[in-house]
Amino acid sequence: MTHKQPHPDPDMTTFEPKIVAYVCNWCTYLGADLAGTNRLEYPPNVRIIRLPCTGRIDFNLIVKAFETGADAVLVSGCHPGDCHYTSGNYHARRRWTLFRELLDTLGIEMDRIHFTWISAAEGRKWQQVITEITEKTRQMGPYLAYKRICRVS
């Protein structure tokens, strides 16, 4: 479904997903730069937060993003073996495997968290990933469930 099609819920037609992307400085950030240099258009819903390495990404940051109203979160770094810091992305991957279940248990919708590898040469992949996530999140609608939890607590 694209945003041009009418949605049964009238509020949803104006819904623009908010996506927070935690990316590493050396691969994915440069991949997004390359998408710009090549003028690859994609939906304007993503807000990049640049970190040195995916190894720096603490899972509290993901929770925090939802808390401040994000509808989806993307974590993206260098491909395995390509980490600027040798092994930071392996730590990120290991942590991801662990925390996935924990976040699932906490009731966070796992479909709203995305984890990819995008290299500095993959401007097109960045365009595709952002387009896909935006469309998917648009279909899922706003992450009201989390906002409700925040309000209660």
Partner 1 sequence: MARIGVFICWCGENISRHVDVEKLAEQCAHLPGVRCCLTYKYMCSEPGQNLIREKIREERLNGMVVASCSPHMHLKTFRKAAEAEGLNPYLVEMANIREHCSWVHHDVKAATAKAADLIRMAVAKVRRNHALSPIRVPLTKRALVIGGGVAGIQAALDIADAGHEVVLVEREPSIGGKMAGLSETFPTLDCSQCILTPRMVEVGQHPNIRLYTYSDVEAVEGYVGNFSVTIRKRARYVDISKCTGCGACWNACPNKKTPSEFDFGMGKRSAIYVPFPQAVPARPVIDANACTMLTKGKCGLCAKKCAAGAINFKDQDELITEKVGAIVVATGYKLWDIGKEQENAKLAGYGEYGYGTYKDVINSLQFERLVSASGPTGGELRRPSDGAVPKTVVFISCVGSRDNAKGMSYCSKICCMYNAKHTMLYKHKVHDGQAHVFYMDIRAGGKNYDEFVRRAIEQDGAQYHRGRVSKITEENGKLIVRGVDTLAGEPVTIEADLVVLATAMRPADGVETLAQKLNVGYDEYGFLSESHPKLRPVETNAAGVFVCGACQGPKDIPESVAQASAAAGKVQVMFSREEITREPEIASIDERMCAACFTCVRACPYNAIERAEIRDRAGRLIKRTARVNPGLCMGCGTCVAVCPSKSAELEGFTEQQVYAMVESLG
Interface region with partner 1, contact rule CB under 8 A, candidates 56-64, 100-108, 109-117, 135-143: 56-64
> What does the alpha-carbon distance between residue 62 and residue 74 come to, in Å, rounded to a whole number?
9
Kindly state whether residue 50 participates in binding partner 1, applying the rule CB under 8 A.
Answer: yes
- 63: phi > 0 → left, psi -120 to 50 → alpha, else beta; which? alpha
Q: Are 114 and 129 in contact (CB under 8 A)?
A: yes
Q: Which of 86, 102, 104, 148 binds partner 1 (CB under 8 A)?
A: 86
CA distances from 40 to 5, 19, 96, 146 (A): 24, 18, 29, 32
Site mask for partner 1 (CB under 8 A), range 100-119, x = bound: --------------------
**Terminal Cα distance for the chain, rounded:** 34
Looking at residue 79, what DSSP letter applies? P
| Interaction residues for partner 1, span 18-37 (CB under 8 A) | 18, 20, 29-30, 32-33, 35-37
Q: Which of 17, 27, 28, 55 binds partner 1 (CB under 8 A)?
A: 55
Kindly state whether residue 98 participates in binding partner 1, applying the rule CB under 8 A.
Answer: no
- Interface residues with partner 1 (CB under 8 A) are 18, 20, 29-30, 32-33, 35-37, 39-44, 47-53, 55-58, 61, 64-65, 67-70, 81-88, 91-92, 95, 127
